Chain A
């Protein structure tokens, strides 16, 4: 009944190493895409998922070549077509939406013009028909007032809007197959949920087949009918969405689902040891053998075949999958975090405001910052010794800005930052003494950027040791080795360069560097966002362990509410640089909560087809915080009227010690809660 439109047969793609060996990126892949279905391809970075998706439109990245097999689209092999033939198919029959749509749009051409170009290329409509079509397309992707959007330039749109335009352009050629490579990665949770919802609607409405590539099982779970799980260039599991997510019978998928933090569960998920092997490093045996909890002797030297199980409609590549079939569902074991939060306050922010506004000359002379509507305003938080406090909010909500100010990298406009109850920290880094610099350390999102590529691990970790403690020679070395052990890396890593480490290992080095200073407070800015899920849990566990050992306080910034739920004692929710809600995490994740918290919680995507996101507010992006009234007034679905527009809402304290800043009384807030 279902017509197959894309058929991948025994596809192998690879490259030749410097030594002349043939190294496979995709190993003998066979699968197909049927008309009207949405297939999700998941895998961690380097598993070959994008290479497979690109091959499905006849594209093999520079440096790679097809070793064997074919990709048939409507029965003709795309991989042997010349560029003229491919041109007829790409953009028309098969369209692609890249990860960063903002970069794929031409910056100096208006949106309408760009869509018009796509239409001219892929259809035979006349000018007037095309204009109508542009409106129709922009309407279809639910952009507000399509006619004005068409006259804008890409940079005048938000990330989510740009992604919608990319969808509209892809639809211009009425494709039969739409390939999406990480289309929502990098978007805010709320935006992501809206875009996914749109994609689902379009798939249904137009009957277009979609291939959705992502590392995020939460996103895949929302859109796909069928899921393909890739590991190390192979398909290890393929089958209907629901059964894969609910009853994963492959050890990798099983472990993966166990390592993803869930909103409903406080505490740290189990981590999967190790990391995915580099292409070319496994010559025999199952590629997952090193990390597998279910392995047997057979797996070491023999590679299992992809086997089709008729009753489950699932293909599996594992010898021991039967051992996993007994488990009904993934029972997630979480390790409850030990709070060693003490009563003593270690850091207090009072009335802190931060502004990015360009200063007038006169103010510069008097070293004054004037800005009546600063990016971050009125931040009051007491941080207790030994606790983990999380700052959450959408992109641009000022999370990183606050961290930068605490670290002294950004001057505050107003307010006081106090350490240890009585020592006021100078707002400017240059005025802080070495000890004041030492007590606060930072860990960044992307270890590729935060580690100097020209320094060895030894040099990286020695920096704070030399700077703060003046260590030298043997003693320095001893300390470095100790720190490496603390982050579970061996001594032999000392002479490695960052490029010779995996993502998780790099982040461990960054963690070791931060702890080398023996800090009291560590600021963590999205420290797990750049990591694969299977590695994320390990880094979270490590951070928790170190914290318990050293009594460190963490200020943890993340956009991922499930991760925050797993690791934090307390949560502060920010919107447009203003606090909305502060409280113990177990209470913030329960009700009553601030309308904005509700929006954030509702938009979280869980790797479970039964849990659908609830889209409460629009995903519009506001340029600037409002001058007066509640910061959330522009998007709030509960807005009670002029009072919200004019008066800053009061802090209301719930019985459990949760503070909510809203004009709606607590009782009513709870009553109205949708979720």
Chain B
């Protein structure tokens, strides 16, 4: 028989698939810029302890609030600490906490959403009500409550942030599952007698994975902002750990005469958020997903 004219290759290894997605993402300027910023930040976070010129805790009253110079590139803060050192180190905690926080959000939000979409009916109704109820609590108040009860260690922050940012993922995962569940290949699997678990694992997850990952990437940037706000309010990481939120909070009173102590962390934080956002958008486009809504919380 004559074969089909479609010349595309068949199944590809997951590695080459990832590579292809990355290539597509980098082929558009915005995706390229986003990816570059993200890679830059991650690399910096990895190597900064080795390249930092000074000790981030070293206080030098003599050098308080000195302007940028060849000795202190970004100047010093009110305790005489080197702002450059603290800026390049200041993304480490934020990136780590929010990265793992997003993973947790993805995991529980994704699984619960798929579960609700799959079982439907009463259980779905009840779970979604509860999720909605949580959605209506201002997250920052709840976070403040949690950290003031349990402390501001990363062991508390990661699951707490993961929990609050997972709610939105539940909705996306549920909606994506609903779309898939009506398809005949699910009916077909049901009729063959596959278990619910097998249907979820083999039929649903491969089809909703992309949508959930994109949502997770989007949530990551929001979580970063949330985490930094907590630090800013004094509920994130505790001093003297270098952290952008904390640095901005410290330096904001001195802004009129020592702008350098806040400019660097602000640039660091906003560029990272923009980088993640652009990357997530490019990621969505590369996977062919239309993101109708920007993350609301």
Contacts and interface: CB of A to CB of B under 8 A. Distances in A.
A633 to B, nearest CB: 34
Contacts of B3: 490, 492
Interface stretch (A98-106, A322-330, A373-381, A447-455): A447-455
A574 B198 CA distance: 36
Given A500-B6, A500-B8, A501-B4, A409 B185 contact: no
B183 A449 contact: yes
Nearest to B9: A495
B187 A409 contact: yes
A64 interface: no
B192 interface: yes
Interface in A572-631: none
Contacts of B5: 277-278, 281
Interface in A24-69: none
A290 B2 CA distance: 8
A517 B203 CA distance: 18
Interface in B184-240: 184-185, 187-194, 202-203, 206-207
A429 B6 contact: no
B141 interface: no
Interface string A486-526: 00111010111100111001000000010001000000000
Contact of B1 (A274, A278, A450): A274
Contacts of A497: 10-11
A654 B185 CA distance: 42
Contacts of B185: 449-452
B21 to A, nearest CB: 14
A275 interface: yes
B184 A501 contact: no
Interface string A438-462: 1011101110011111111010000
B191 A407 contact: yes
Nearest to A510: B188
Nearest to A455: B206
A14 B193 CA distance: 46
B188 A444 contact: yes
B185 to A, nearest CB: 5
Nearest to B11: A495
A517 B188 CA distance: 12
Contacts of B202: 452, 455, 463
A467 B193 contact: yes
A454 B185 CA distance: 11
A193 B10 CA distance: 44
Nearest to B203: A452
A408 interface: yes
Interface in B234-277: none
A494 B2 contact: no
A464 interface: yes
Given A281-B5, A452-B207, A496 B10 contact: yes
Interface string B7-19: 1111100000000
Contact of B206 (A451, A454, A494, A496): A454
Most A CB contacts (10 A, CB to CB) among B8, B185, B187 go to B185
Given A278-B6, A451-B185, A467 B192 contact: yes
Contact of B191 (A408, A490, A501): A408
A446 B11 contact: no
Contacts of B193: 429, 432, 434, 437-438, 467
A273 interface: yes
Interface string A249-274: 00000000000000000000000011
A514 to B, nearest CB: 9
B209 to A, nearest CB: 8
B191 A453 contact: no
Contacts of B1: 273-274, 488-490
A437 B192 contact: yes
Nearest to B204: A452
B194 A467 contact: yes
Nearest to B193: A437
B187 to A, nearest CB: 6
B10 A442 contact: no
A490 B189 CA distance: 25
A291 interface: yes
Most B CB contacts (10 A, CB to CB) among A452, A458, A464, A496 go to A452
B6 to A, nearest CB: 5
B162 to A, nearest CB: 27
Interface in A419-446: 429, 432, 434, 437-438, 440-442, 444-446
A438 B191 CA distance: 9
Interface string A463-496: 1100110000000000000000000111010111
Contacts of A290: 2
Contact of A463 (B9, B189, B206, B207): B189
Contacts of B4: 275, 278, 500-502, 505
Nearest to B182: A449
A145 B25 CA distance: 58
B206 A517 contact: no
A465 to B, nearest CB: 11
Contacts of A489: 1
A442 B207 contact: no
Nearest to A443: B188
A274 B4 CA distance: 8
B180 to A, nearest CB: 9
A409 B189 contact: no
A291 B2 contact: yes
A605 B70 CA distance: 88
B219 to A, nearest CB: 23
Interface in B19-76: none
Most A CB contacts (10 A, CB to CB) among B8, B10, B203 go to B10
Contacts of A467: 192-194
Contacts of B189: 463
A643 to B, nearest CB: 41
A323 to B, nearest CB: 22
Interface in B93-143: none
Interface in A287-316: 290-291
A438 B192 CA distance: 7
A408 B191 CA distance: 7
A432 B11 CA distance: 35
Nearest to B27: A18
Contact of B6 (A440, A501, A513): A501
A500 B206 contact: no
Nearest to B4: A502
A277 B188 CA distance: 30
Given A434-B193, A449-B184, A450-B184, A456 B11 contact: yes
Interface of A: 273-275, 277-278, 281, 290-291, 407-409, 429, 432, 434, 437-438, 440-442, 444-446, 449-456, 458, 463-464, 467-468, 488-490, 492, 494-497, 500-502, 505, 513, 517
30 contacts: A277-B5, A278-B6, A281-B5, A290-B2, A408-B191, A432-B193, A434-B193, A437-B192, A438-B192, A438-B193, A440-B191, A441-B192, A442-B187, A442-B191, A445-B184, A446-B184, A450-B183, A450-B184, A452-B185, A452-B207, A463-B192, A463-B194, A467-B193, A488-B1, A492-B3, A494-B10, A495-B9, A495-B10, A496-B10, A500-B10
Interface of B: 1-11, 183-185, 187-194, 202-203, 206-207
> Which 6 pairs of residues, A with B, have the shortest CB-CB distance?
A495-B10, A454-B206, A437-B193, A450-B184, A281-B5, A274-B2
Given A429-B191, A497-B11, A500-B6, 11 more contacts: A281-B7, A409-B187, A437-B193, A438-B192, A444-B188, A450-B187, A452-B206, A453-B207, A454-B207, A467-B193, A505-B4
